[in-house]
Chains A and B, each alone.
Chain A
Amino acid sequence: MKEFLAQVFSVEVWEYVLPATWQTIYMTAISTTITITFGLLFGVLLYVTDKDGLHPMAIFNKVFGAIINSVLSLPSMIVVIIFLPLSKFIVGVSYGPKAFIVSLAIVCIPIFSRLVENSILEVSKGKVEAAKAMGAPNWDIILKIMLPESLPTLIRNFVVLTITLVSITAIAGSFGAGGLGELAVRFGYNRYRTDILVAVIIVLLAGVEVLQLFGAFISKKILKKRHLV
Chain B
Amino acid sequence: MAAPFIEIKNVSKIFKNQDKEFKVLKGINLEIQKGDIFGIIGFSGAGKSTLIRCINRLETVSSGTIRIGNYEIDKLSKKEMNLYRQKIGIIFQHFNLFDSKTVFGNVAFPLEVAGKSKQEIEKRVAEILDLVNISDKKDFYPGQLSGGQKQRVGIARALANNPDILLSDEATSALDPVTSLSVLDILKDINKKLRLTIILITHSLDVIKYTCNNMAVLENGLIAEKGSVREIFANPSSETTKVFIKNNSDLAKVDYLVGGEGI
Contact = CB atoms under 8 A, between A and B. Distances in A.
Nearest to A229: B143
Contacts of A145: 98, 100, 109
B110 interface: yes
B130 interface: no
B92 A130 contact: yes
A134 B100 contact: no
Which of A127, A148, A149 counts the most chain B CB atoms within 10 A? A127
A226 B142 CA distance: 8
B133 interface: no
A134 B98 contact: no
Interface string A103-132: 000000000000000000000101101111
B96 A135 contact: no
Nearest to A152: B100
B84 interface: yes
A55 to B, nearest CB: 10
Interface in A177-229: 225-228
A131 B99 CA distance: 13
A149 B105 CA distance: 13
A144 B157 CA distance: 15
B96 A129 contact: yes
Given A134-B86, A135-B84, A227 B100 contact: no
Interface in B117-150: 141-144
Q: How large is the interface on B (under 10, 10 to 19, 20 to 34, 35 or more residues)?
A: 20 to 34
A149 B96 contact: no
A197 B195 CA distance: 77
A6 interface: no
B90 A127 contact: no
Given A148-B100, A149-B99, A226-B100, A135 B86 contact: yes
Contacts of B96: 124, 126-127, 129-130
B85 interface: yes
A149 to B, nearest CB: 5
Contacts of B85: 132-135
Interface of A: 124, 126-127, 129-137, 140, 144-145, 148-149, 151, 225-228
